[in-house]
Amino acid sequence: MAQRGKLMVPITSFIPDIEQLIVDLFNSRYDKPIIIPATTIYYLCQQIRTVLLSSSSHLLLEGPIIVVGDIHGQLYDLLRVFLQEGYPTEINYLFLGDYVDRGKYGVEVLCLLYALKIKYPDNIHFIRGNHECAYMNRLFGFQNECLIKYGDLLVWNAFVSTFNVYPFSAVINKKILCVHGGLSPYLQRIDQLKRISRPTDIPWDGMLCDLVWSDFSNTTSGFVENVKRGISVTFGKKILETFLEENNLTTLIRGHSFVNGISIKMPCISIFSASFYQGKFMNSCGVLKIDEKNTIDIHLFNDITHKEITKKLKKDKKGKLKRKSLRLNLPINTTETVVIEQTSEVQSSTTPQSEKLSTKNK
């Protein structure tokens, strides 16, 4: 798509106080986020490229670990996850991509994740989403965010150069595969994920494209064209079960789809972690906690303003934001436990309803 992974990070000799940056960003939950100096961002991007290129394009992780879905520049959801689930010194984290675009604070989200990764490289992990791509974030807001905040595109170029070295996948406890999008007809063996060469952009087709763009569907058999997005494929339950069995895996965890926090359609679990998405949708922020035995705790966080917002939408005579079907009737914090057995069955009494987003490219 546009770039080939060779954008350069401006060289800086400035060394920021990483700990203070983390503190300042956490304190921004009480006020508007600080303006992060461009030189600090250049330093973070230089360091993060080195850290990511020294690791594999396919991460091997172990529980206990928190798995987080799409953030889309919603800094306060990210902060709330850390505050609810624990600081990275207390538990490990895996983020499934789509950190930027549509939300106001993509720069701050990335800076916090990069600072934490530099400070705690063994505790913070993230993989690439379809919006970690120059073409996509030109269209959906991140490039414009950088231009408004810094007056030029040097900061944006620096961030894009880090996107091009992100890992694409992870396996937790040798059993749970995590990607942003899903499977690909070009992906037969899990070892293929270890041989991805970086830096690289996301192409228009092929395995790398499908890893960040494909969708799961219970009604699909095999691989079919992804008409909804106009790119990549949709894959069905049978093809997923076959892939998992052949690679000695039990479950796929993915982001990419707009769902009400968590959607469980075993053996596939989708996560979305940007609550009250775009200020329009009455959805929860969902995360998963996976322990050493592959027991999964589902945590849903609801914005405390949902009740007031719902009342406001009901009174909206023009109906521009009125979506009655998206109202939530959940407590502020909801937890549920799901046990992933070798048979890939779910023991669960309730599942949050999934929702569809009408935009073509989420």
Q: Tell me which residues are annotated as active site.
A: 131
Number of H helices, E strands in the chain: 10, 15
Whether the ω angle into residue 267 lies within 30 degrees of 0, i.e. cis, is yes
Distance separating alpha carbons of residues 40 and 35, to the nearest angstrom: 10
Distance separating alpha carbons of residues 218 and 266, to the nearest angstrom: 9
299: which residues sit within 8 A by CB, 6+ positions away? 84, 85, 286, 287, 288, 289, 333, 334, 335
Going from the C-alpha of 252 to that of each of 70, 170, 322, the distances in angstroms are: 16, 10, 34
Nearest in space to 258 (alpha carbons), one of 310, 301, 215: 215
Enumerate the β-bridge partners of residue 327: none
Nearest in space to 282 (alpha carbons), one of 311, 254, 256, 253: 311
Whether the ω angle into residue 64 lies within 30 degrees of 0, i.e. cis, is yes
Whether the ω angle into residue 185 lies within 30 degrees of 0, i.e. cis, is no
Amino acid residing at 311? K
Nearest in space to 339 (alpha carbons), one of 287, 286, 281, 264: 264
Q: Concatenated DSSP letters for 224-291?
A: EE-TTTTSSEEEEHHHHHHHHHHTT--EEEE--S--SSEEEETTEEEEB--SSGGGT----EEEEEE-
Tokens of 47: 């360091």
